[in-house]
Structure 1
């Protein structure tokens, strides 16, 4: 097996609560947990979690703890922090940078870094604005061209990285300067271009599904799909005589998701309803998570994160995968840039600059994606972005200087890197890295 790939204990199919087939050797010697079905599922999950923690696989636990501490702290300082209005604004604010962070996750899985995503996001916004506002190109067509510009930039960088074997951060550093210069050239002397506030792109972050049934219906649909996929996967693995999740655990997991989904739907409906931006974000994250975990391409990405030479010896098409990963990163940066432009309904020479790049990278790392490659998921970007934007929102509500915000975010990022390094060291000691 190529180092860094997901073996059976790393895949979603082999998580907590999986039981061996009844005819497996030694299966009858195990003492069955006592108590109710839900109690047995919780006991199985707890035992699995302890094994994972002892072997250094902390998963998303640290970032969940940090997020809980941040929310409790700011709620105690200002009771408006967890209000429906603030949570709704927070759910939209995370989308633009969060989409960029999702692309960063793909690159980090290779053990590389893309420094050009901020410039690509600004370039995509500039291409859209110039085509639509200044040249009258239909919004839908200008939007597609803007995304394709980002995809093309990422593909060029990916191919250069794969062919020259120059570290990706060097290639993308050159890209950062190149795409930023191209954005300034496209914008020209106009400086700032205001978008149509009633246009298609502006509605990406301003449209809300005001009917309560939409949010509740989608919460129920998401819960049902998770349960169905898990159940079908269980049947498939049982038929093949492979380890599988228990029905109790599947029910508990689906129930936990239902609680989160319906509470979120209730809070959002108390303000303006479900934001279109949040819905698109979650659909994209879930879709790309399936690509990483369930497709041959995704397994190749994880394999390359474990070692390029080992991947080549395993007959993986390294150049193709590396090029595709940077193309994904560029595409997600372009989409994120359009959402950022939608949020402020304008594009300027400062688009894609500032702390955007740092926040996107920090979100992926804080969320649990390893800097060493081979470990992480697209949901890491969601969790990490929630932490960063929650800190920013709390600081704004409490009138805390921006300097303090940077220091706190930097401290959280440093802690995440330290945990990642210690986790990897522990895994190496257990022969899992």
Structure 2
């Protein structure tokens, strides 16, 4: 009997040993894989991207100046402060919780900063750090109420919404409104500072290089682990597309005497990228997703659930304070209405519209960016065609309802397809 030669185990990648995990290859295989994922409810950011494109197309058809360089510069600048607040909302939604007080916290902490600078002669840096410290302390109190006392997040954040509105009024006192000094660094950062062409293109080059390097390292790690690595050609093609897209974005925002990419919007994007990396690449981020998916299972697996809740609520309130400070710098004033208009609901709506699930365990830091761009595009477009503000609220509500409906449908599809 002739001897049969067996293929060494190392010759077959671990993720190719099971036919259910075989990666689809070629254009047809990739298309089939994508279609199966969509049928299984793995929609990702596709709905919000399609929605943003449709919104831009509709408003551009009505008023071509909607997509002018100056309009887009204004859109990105005004999206940033509330977008930073929405970034904190994304974190608490990942846990399946909610914070209804972020707008009030933003207004109160900005009042703390303004009073310290205008009335007590404190340096801007000390005032900013103090305001952020107050925001962090509020988050820690929330976490204590949730973990030690057992108060639901809806209840204590609703109480905080009312309490910090009162704290805002008390802090401002009879002044009512405080105008930031003309030479305030916060005012310049949030309103007047824009990247030069060299700075903008330099950041694009750094981003593309970081993307390529991180993927090459990932490919190497998968090879060492005996797994099938992604295609290097595919990585380079995506990097080229990223370079072209981001480069054109920077060029267009600076065209026709527009001011370009603002410091504030750049800061917002960098925060989103940082939080995305923390959520996807660190143990803390994986634990946040695990706790949001199934808290009891996460606790039994050894995850310190209490610390996760503390860190998330602390970050959420800190981001609320940071967004409030940026909004104060942009508006150049802090008043009794700071954070008490539609800031709160806009931040929550942005996180949900951007693709963060209300059921916990699913979402991305980019939801804050995409959702805020959608809402700001709706606001800017309706204002441009002279539609009344009440219509804007109704349209925003309809978009929010649609986003939640899509999330519910995709959740059922994932459940029926066994994807969880």
Q: TM-score band, normalised by the shorter chain?
A: over 0.9
Task: Provide, for residues 319-368 of structure 1, a one-character-per-residue CA deviation record: whole Å limited to 9, x for no partner.
Answer: 11111111010000000001111111000111111111111011000000
| C-alpha distance in 1 between matches for 2:202 and 2:192 | 18
Contact 2:14 2:227 in 1 (8 A): no
Contact 2:106 2:325 in 1 (8 A): yes
Unaligned runs of 5+ in 2: 1-11
Residues 376 and 32 (structure 1), Cα distance of their counterparts in 2 relative to 1, 3 Å cut: closer
Report what 2:181 is aligned to.
Answer: 196
Task: Provide, for residues 275-297 of structure 1, a one-character-per-residue CA deviation record: whole Å limited to 9, x for no partner.
Answer: 10011111111111111111111
Q: Secondary structure of the residue that 2:96 maps to in structure 1?
A: coil
TM-score (norm 1): 0.90
Q: Secondary structure of the residue that 2:65 maps to in structure 1?
A: coil
Equivalent positions of 1:84-163 (< 5 A) are 84-163=69-148
Contact 1:123 1:150 in 2 (8 A): no
Confirm whether residue 59 of structure 1 aligns to residue 44 of structure 2: yes
Contact 1:128 1:145 in 2 (8 A): yes
| C-alpha distance in 1 between matches for 2:195 and 2:285 | 37
- The alignment covers a number of residue pairs equal to 406
Structure 1 residue 273, shift from structure 2 partner: 2.5
Structure 1 residue 23, shift from structure 2 partner: 9.5
Report what 1:25 is aligned to.
Answer: 17
Report what 2:165 is aligned to.
Answer: 180
Confirm whether residue 78 of structure 1 aligns to residue 63 of structure 2: yes
Structure 1 residue 249, shift from structure 2 partner: 2.1
Q: Secondary structure of the residue that 2:418 maps to in structure 1?
A: coil
Residues 189 and 226 (structure 1), Cα distance of their counterparts in 2 relative to 1, 3 Å cut: same
| C-alpha distance in 2 between matches for 1:252 and 1:21 | 24
| C-alpha distance in 2 between matches for 1:200 and 1:45 | 50
Report what 2:357 is aligned to.
Answer: 370
Q: Secondary structure of the residue that 2:181 maps to in structure 1?
A: coil
Of 155-164 and 247-256, the range deviating more from structure 2: 247-256
Q: Quote the RMSD (CA, aligned, Å).
A: 1.9
| C-alpha distance in 2 between matches for 1:250 and 1:139 | 44
Structure 1 residue 127, shift from structure 2 partner: 0.5
- Select which of 330, 334, 342 maps to 1:347: 334
| C-alpha distance in 1 between matches for 2:190 and 2:69 | 17
TM-score (norm 2): 0.93
Report what 2:9 is aligned to.
Answer: none
Report what 2:267 is aligned to.
Answer: 280
Q: Secondary structure of the residue that 1:329 maps to in structure 2?
A: helix
Of 116-125 and 209-218, the range deviating more from structure 2: 209-218
Structure 1 residue 315, shift from structure 2 partner: 1.7
| C-alpha distance in 2 between matches for 1:294 and 1:22 | 22
- Select which of 188, 196, 221 maps to 1:236: 221
Q: Secondary structure of the residue that 1:428 maps to in structure 2?
A: helix
Q: Secondary structure of the residue that 2:178 maps to in structure 1?
A: strand
Residues 266 and 178 (structure 1), Cα distance of their counterparts in 2 relative to 1, 3 Å cut: same
Confirm whether residue 267 of structure 1 aligns to residue 252 of structure 2: yes
- Select which of 412, 418, 424 maps to 2:411: 424
| C-alpha distance in 1 between matches for 2:117 and 2:235 | 48
| C-alpha distance in 2 between matches for 1:295 and 1:273 | 33
| C-alpha distance in 2 between matches for 1:90 and 1:221 | 25
Confirm whether residue 397 of structure 1 aligns to residue 384 of structure 2: yes
Contact 1:96 1:339 in 2 (8 A): yes
Contact 1:114 1:172 in 2 (8 A): yes
Report what 2:307 is aligned to.
Answer: 320
Q: Which has the larger radius of gyration?
A: 2
Q: Secondary structure of the residue that 1:58 maps to in structure 2?
A: coil
Structure 1 residue 157, shift from structure 2 partner: 0.6
Report what 2:240 is aligned to.
Answer: 255
Structure 1 residue 32, shift from structure 2 partner: 8.3
Confirm whether residue 304 of structure 1 aligns to residue 296 of structure 2: no
Contact 1:208 1:273 in 2 (8 A): no
Task: Provide, for residues 127-178 of structure 1, a one-character-per-residue CA deviation record: whole Å limited to 9, x for no partner.
Answer: 1000001111001110111111111111111121122222211111111122
Structure 1 residue 31, shift from structure 2 partner: 10
Q: Secondary structure of the residue that 2:227 maps to in structure 1?
A: coil
Unaligned runs of 5+ in 1: 1-19, 34-39
Q: Which runs of 4+ in 1 moved over 4 A?
A: 30-33, 42-45
Structure 1 residue 50, shift from structure 2 partner: 1.3
- Select which of 151, 155, 162 maps to 1:170: 155
